[in-house]
Amino acid sequence: MDINSGYINNAYICETKPFNQKYSSHTKVRQRSKSSADTSIVNTNPHQHGQRSRSFDYINTSKYHKNLREHWTGFLFSKEFLPLEENDNLDKSKDKEVPDGGWGWFILLSSFMIQFIVIGFDGASGILFLKFTDKYKQSAAITAWLGSLATALRLSLGPLASGLSNRFTERVLIMASGVILALSMVLTGLSPNVIYVFLSFGICGGIGRSFAYCPAIVMLGIYFKKKQGIVTGIAASGCGVGRFAMSLLVPLLFRYFDFRGAFILMGGIALQIVVMGALMRPLSVTKTKIISESNRRSNFRPELNNNGCKLSSVAVTIPENKILNNEIKEQTISERDTGDENKTPIFNFALLKEMRFLGFCITMLLSSLAEQSAFVFLPAFSEEIGVLGNFSSEYTLAITSVFNTFAKVLAGFVFDCGLVRPYRVYLYNALMFGLVIVSFVIPSVKTFTQLAIACALYGMFSGSYTAQKSVVIVDILGRDKLKYSYGILMMFQGIGVFIGPPLSGLVKDINGRYDVAFYIGGVGMLVGSMILFINNVVHYVKSKNNNTQVNKPGTLPKTIQISVIPADNLKS
């Protein structure tokens, strides 16, 4: 339809007056007299023609369009902010809301098991390091890169995993990742030398782990809103349980089967990710609305502007017209039927322009550098200071892992408390400062009891903040950007994991002591915590000064005007 050729005699000026700024508003529409055969179009300059008002109608609106400050023009009638007139009948809308339950519990089960398997294999890297060293007779430095490469790729490929899951759905990507990871395990068992292991276990295995891990966490944010903190913590506890279980299971596989047989069986375990991926049902594949006789209306879609249809964004009732209506009784319109299909981009690094999110990514890079170094060198440090007595050095990791798992679940309940919810980012920052203190305390312990307490505290602080990353991202950017933003955050973490242990090992070789690694980690964590703290202070000051919630979805300007102008005033 050519909007420049119609007869247009209606004029509207809309003012939004929020009574609940976060969720809803009343919109007052001043409408000029209508002609029974006219249609209308939007002009974004409300003062150009100065139309006078004759009657008043009221419209109730229930949802705000997200990111309104960037695209306020035409927002009022977008798919997330559709005002309804009194007798509008859109009851047959098939748009999905966040369920906070239902099939979401199967999503939780699937995410738990995926993290159990993926992080469990990471936890068994110490055992696999010994097996690779015995079989291929390579130096410790070369062999150590095998596990580090797989873990670094799991995190660094986060943006690619997020983009592909957005293009092909999380279900497809996770099921494919299970096949890739299983194939990597089988090929590792058949590898004749360490170069093939680098390709199979390091690169192929890292890709498989990344394509499973990132979508498994993102899906929790899609299916849960009010309970996101709790379910994220429960799912993240699968990491600790998986580390513990795999540390017992993998040695048994090598004991009762040879090198090749053990890796083939681990490939079978990896195939269970395919089963878990099948449970990852998309929340809504295609959004549709039923158009019937009772709700026939014109709804111009601004998101289709890039497909050759340059229509302004407005939804108005079109009086009955034989040419337009053509006696359509009922029709289902899918988003895929309108215009050329928009291809979903794989990457969205434009999110890094948001300074608060960029600061959070840098914070996680520095904290991952410190945390990974601590887990790598904690057993060696405990042996170096000679406080173990009759205990084994593995007890330090066991204590840390148990409290790490417990803290992940506990943090989920705390972060979802009504009193805590508005201040979750600040609480997250406080947990990181707690981890800084423990990092500086560990090198000064003198007894095994002190070391055990320090390990327990380290596990609790690290478990609490690592489990709630996706929750903090939602608070900073909004739920609609979680898919892309979590992958970018994982990439920064991967850089920290890749750099941290080699850097700490180099310092140890120069200095001769492991305690320096904890000081370096503590300094890195402190710098990262300060960056996040400064961002939080700036955000708080801006919010207070502007009396608004900066970077929160659902924030509206107090007054927005949209006018509809007559066609004869339009230039041909």
Output the pLDDT for position 372: 67
Residue 572 has pLDDT above 60, yes or no: no
Q: Does 439 map to a domain? A: yes
Q: Does one domain contain both 298 and 274?
A: no
| Helix extents (H) in 271-393 | 272-278, 322-325, 355-385
pLDDT per residue as tens digits for the range 65-103? 444 434 443 433 333 334 433 334 433 334 456 677 788
* Residues 41 and 145 reside in one and the same domain: no
CATH number of the domain to which 252 belongs: 1.20.1250.20
pLDDT at 274: 95
User: Considering 334, 364, 391, which residue would you say is the last residue of a domain?
Assistant: 334
Average pLDDT over residues 137-154: 78
Rounded Cα–Cα distance for residues 213 and 474 (Å): 18
Share of the chain above pLDDT 90, in %: 14
Give residue 115's pLDDT.
92
| Whether 352 contacts 358, CB under 8 Å | yes
Total domains in the fold of the chain: 3
Check whether residue 471 and residue 534 sit in a common domain: yes
36-45, 128-137, 301-310, 544-553, range with greatest mean pLDDT: 128-137
Task: For residues 378 and 493, state if they share a domain.
Answer: yes
> Which is higher by pLDDT, 500 or 444?
444
> Which of 26 and 216 is assigned the larger pLDDT?
216
User: E strand or H helix at 28, and its extent?
Assistant: strand 24-31
Residue 90 burial by CB count (10 A; 0-12/13-18/19+): exposed, middle or buried?
middle
Q: How far apart are CA 165 and CA 178, in angstroms?
A: 14
Range(s) of the domain holding residue 421: 348-550
CA distance 283 to 334: 16
Same domain membership, residue 412 and residue 362: yes
The mean per-residue pLDDT over the stretch 473-483 comes to: 83
Q: Is 2 inside any structural domain?
A: no
Condensed to tens digits (0 to 9), the pLDDT of residues 224-250 reads 888 877 888 888 888 888 887 887 888
Q: Mean pLDDT across the stretch 3-32?
A: 39
Is residue 263 included in any domain, yes or no?
yes
In a shared domain, residues 280 and 153:
yes
Please state the rounded mean pLDDT for residues 161-181.
90
Say if residue 422 is exposed, middle or buried (CB neighbours under 10 Å; 0-12, 13-18, 19+).
Answer: exposed
Residue 275 reports pLDDT greater than 90: yes
Answer whether residue 272 shows pLDDT above 90: yes
pLDDT of residue 241: 86
Q: Distance from first CA to last CA of the chain, Å, rounded? A: 16
The C-alpha atoms of residue 368 and residue 492 are separated, in whole angstroms, by 9
Instruction: Express the helix, strand and coil content of the chain in percent, nearest 5 each.
Output: 60, 10, 30
User: Can you tell me the distance from the alpha carbon of 517 to that of 378, in angstroms, rounded to the nearest whole number?
Assistant: 10
Looking at residue 68, its pLDDT comes to 40
Give yes or no: residues 159 and 239 share one domain: yes
* 371 and 510 both lie in a single domain: yes
Residue 173 Ramachandran class (φ > 0 left, ψ -120 to 50 alpha, else beta): alpha
Give the model's pLDDT for residue 109: 93
Relative orientation angle of helices 448-467 and 469-477, to the nearest 10 degrees: 40
User: Percent of the chain, pLDDT > 70?
Assistant: 65
Task: Give the chain's mean pLDDT.
Answer: 71
Phi-psi sector, 551: left (phi>0), alpha (psi -120 to 50), beta = left
The predicted pLDDT at position 114 comes to 94
**CA angle in degrees (0–180, nearest 5) for 195-198-202:** 175
| 463 and 447 fall within a common domain | yes
- Residues 6 or more apart from 518 whose CB is under 8 A from it? 373, 374, 377, 381, 439, 440, 442, 443
The Cα-based distances of 42 to 145, 191, 556, 561 in angstroms read: 60, 66, 20, 11
- pLDDT tens for 372-430 read 666 667 777 887 787 777 777 767 777 888 888 888 888 888 888 888 888 888 999 99
Looking at per-residue pLDDT, the higher value among 453 and 478 belongs to 453
User: What is the residue type of 263?
Assistant: F
Residue 506, pLDDT > 90, answer no
Same-domain status, 75 and 115: no
489-501 pLDDT, tens per residue?
888 888 887 777 7
Q: Which of 257-271, 356-370, 541-555 has the lowest mean pLDDT?
A: 541-555
430/353 same-domain check? yes
HSE-CB at 63 with a 13 A cutoff on CA atoms is 11
In a domain, 561, yes or no: no
* Domain membership flag for residue 6: no
Q: How confident is the model over 22-61, as pLDDT tens digits?
A: 433 333 334 444 443 333 333 444 444 444 433 333 333 3
> Would residue 4 count as lying in a domain?
no
Q: Among candidates 272, 245, 284, which has minimal Cα distance to 79?
A: 284
Task: Please name the residues in contact with 281: beta carbons below 8 A apart, sequence gap of 6 or more.
Answer: 103, 106, 107, 171
The pLDDT of residue 343:
58
560 in any annotated domain: no
pLDDT at 283 over 60: yes
Q: How much is the average pLDDT of 297-322?
A: 48
pLDDT for 40 equals 37
Same domain, 309 and 384: no
For residue 17, pLDDT beyond 60 = no
Helices within 224-256 (DSSP H only): 228-256
User: Tell me, what's the pLDDT at 276?
Assistant: 93
Please check the confidence at residue 192 and state whether its pLDDT lies above 80.
yes
Give the tens place of pLDDT for each residue, 322-377: 444 444 444 444 444 444 445 566 667 888 888 888 989 998 888 887 776 666 67
Task: Please tell me whether the overall predicted TM-score, pTM, comes out greater than 0.75 for this model.
Answer: no
Domain assignment present for residue 341? The answer is: no
DSSP 77-88: GSTTS--B-TT-
